[in-house]
Structure 1
Amino acid sequence: MSTDQEKPTESSITVKLSTHLKPEHLEVVNESFMHNVPRGSETHFKVVVVSKDFEGIPLIKRHRIINELLRDELAGGVHALSIIAKSPSQWETGGKAVEPSPACRGGFGK
């Protein structure tokens, strides 16, 4: 069983998004294993956030809200952040399936 100390960045992201957005649904997925980084890295994440706070807010503003909340993590080692930010009505009507992230291309356009 892993602890918050073993996954400090993932834990920090989860706490900040949970605290500030009070999501109805939240997934924080460490996708670092899909990239050329050392085992156990916390450099690539996908977040799926469903919050009432997103009702009536354009997608770009939702992304800005999340990026601002995670400013320290992005400055401190998170290299990539994939964001899926939906209102509860979008989540219900659009289906709850989240597409898997594409395979890493090596970072050099391979």
Structure 2
Amino acid sequence: MSINQDRIALFEADLRSAFQLTQLTIEDESHLHAGHAGAATGGGHFKLTIRAAEFEGMTKVARHRAIYAALNRHFPVAIHALTILAFTPSESTD
């Protein structure tokens, strides 16, 4: 496993502990940011698509805050940048 695959496994474990997930996809987009100043610190760039019942009634900002709280221990060393797509089970991803 690569270092970022190991990181993704840890992110997934923390998110599964925090939320009752019906969907979770974590993509490593670090290669798209090679040479970026932030990438030099060793933190990766990731894209997260997550679907959880806990997001029902929450604003987009509140959902992002909840996700950042669940992944807090990984910033800034393992995660430099995070793109978040957060949905409830009834919301469309379109």
**Short-chain TM bin:** 0.7 to 0.9
Larger radius of gyration: 1
Richer in helix (by share):
2
Aligned position for 1:27: 25
* Percent sequence identity over aligned pairs: 26
Q: Which amino acid aligns with 1:27?
A: T
1:7 Cα offset (Å):
2.4
Q: Select the structure that is richer in strand.
A: 2
Any residues of structure 2 matched to 1:1-110 within 5 Å, and which?
Answer: 2=1, 7-36=5-34, 43-90=44-91, 94=92, 96=93
Instruction: Summarize the Cα distance change of 1:6–1:59 in structure 2 as closer, same or farther, 3 Å threshold.
Output: closer
State how many pairs are aligned.
89
Q: For residues 42 and 76 of structure 1, do their structure 2 counterparts lie closer, same or farther at Cα, with a shift above 3 Å needed?
A: closer
CA distance in structure 2 between the aligned counterparts of 1:6 and 1:57, rounded to whole angstroms: 30
Name 1:103's counterpart in structure 2: none
Point out 4+ residue stretches in structure 1 off by more than 3 angstroms. Answer: none
Q: What amino acid is aligned across from residue 88 of structure 2 in structure 1?
A: S
Give SS of 2:75's match: helix
TM-score, length-scaled by structure 1: 0.71
1: CA distance between counterparts of 2:16 and 2:74? Answer: 15
Rounded to whole Å, the distance in 2 between the matches of 1:70 and 1:6 is 15
Q: How big is the alpha-carbon RMSD for the aligned residues of Structure 1 and Structure 2?
A: 2.1
C-alpha displacement at 1:85, in angstroms?
0.7
How far, CA to CA, are the matches of 2:57 and 2:47 in structure 1?
23
Q: Which runs of 5+ in 1 are unaligned?
A: 98-110
Where does structure 2 lack aligned partners over 5 or more consecutive residues? none
